[in-house]
A and B are shown apart, each in its own frame.
Chain A
Amino acid sequence: DGGITQSPKYLFRKEGQNVTLSCEQNLNHDAMYWYRQDPGQGLRLIYYSQIVNDFQKGDIAEGYSVSREKKESFPLTVTSAQKNPTAFYLCASSIHGNYGYTFGSGTRLTVV
């Protein structure tokens, strides 16, 4: 079955630690996105990529980094520079915005 997989489902980060969230899709979608969602809030765009080896900052990119070395994969690293990383992180992909996005199941990150 085609889909988009995020792992892990839950992640705990210590202060000052970098962590990487995985996002893999087998939908053959060109575009991939990372969003952050805080409790009771909407989606905020962190980074997006329209093509392999190219990505763009979204509205809240500070403290985050990404790579797009393969079409199927778009990992997100939450660096120690992100001072308030506790949130629900959603990865999405699309063949074209005109057809909507497919979302992964999300990763819940907590700072301990």
Chain B
Amino acid sequence: QKEVEQNSGPLSVPEGAIASLNCTYSDRGSQSFFWYRQYSGKSPELIMSIYSNGDKEDGRFTAQLNKASQYVSLLIRDSQPSDSATYLCAVLPAINAGNMLTFGGGTRLMVKP
């Protein structure tokens, strides 16, 4: 059973729309959650971290965490073609040897002009 699940996509949205990316996790005691953006052929880049229930906003990005339902989401407002990338969700499980992140498989986002 995969511990962090993401829809692989592609998720296609028109330019200017809101893109909603979702991630579910299995370890109820997980405490830390991260979103990485990975452009094709490049390495992942940390764009958001969230640690408590609720919303966290940073520019056009909003991370939402619901620990009771065990999901974390990333909203991208006013989507731009430059947002086209794969978005990786990463979770720090409570039961963890070595404080290691568990990554989801990623969701590919395509923003069409």
Q: Which residues, 28 to 69 on A, are CB-close (under 8 Å) to B?
A: 31, 33, 41-43, 45, 48, 50, 56
**CB <8 Å contact, B99 and A106:** no
**CB <8 Å contact, A100 and B49:** yes
Binds B, one of A14-22, A79-87, A90-98: A90-98
Q: Chain B residues with Cβ under 8 A from A104's Cβ?
A: 43
Q: From known contacts A41-B105, A90-B43, infer whether A100 and B31 are also in contact, taking CB-CB under 8 Å.
A: no
Q: Chain A residues with Cβ under 8 A from B25's Cβ?
A: none
Q: Chain A residues with Cβ under 8 A from B105's Cβ?
A: 41-42
B77-100 CB contact bits vs A (8 Å, 1 = yes)?
000000000001010100010111
8 Å CB contact of B104 from A42, A90, A96: A42
Q: Which residues, 4 to 45 on B, are CB-close (under 8 Å) to A?
A: 31-32, 34, 41-45
Chain B binding surface, main DSSP class: loop
A74 to B14 CA separation, bound complex (whole angstroms): 42
A99 to B48 CA separation, bound complex (whole angstroms): 11
Interface size on B, residues (CB 8 A): 22
**CB <8 Å contact, A56 and B43:** no
Shortest CB-to-CB span from B85 to chain A, Å, is: 13
A102 CB–B CB distance under 8 Å:
yes
Q: From known contacts A42-B104, A43-B88, infer whether A97 and B99 are also in contact, taking CB-CB under 8 Å.
A: yes
**CB <8 Å contact, A106 and B46:** no
8 Å CB contact of B103 from A43, A94, A102, A108: A43
8 Å CB contact of B44 from A45, A90, A97: A90
Shortest CB-to-CB span from A66 to chain B, Å, is: 15
Q: From known contacts A41-B105, A42-B88, A97-B32, infer whether A103 and B43 are also in contact, taking CB-CB under 8 Å.
A: yes
Known: A41-B105, A103-B45; 14 extra A-B contacts, CB below 8 A, are A31-B98, A43-B88, A48-B98, A48-B100, A50-B98, A56-B98, A90-B44, A96-B99, A97-B96, A100-B34, A100-B46, A100-B90, A100-B101, A105-B43
8 closest pairs, A vs B, by CB?
A: A97-B99, A42-B105, A103-B43, A97-B92, A106-B43, A100-B34, A98-B32, A43-B103
Query: What are 5 of the A-B contact pairs (CB < 8 Å)?
Result: A31-B99, A88-B41, A94-B99, A97-B99, A98-B31
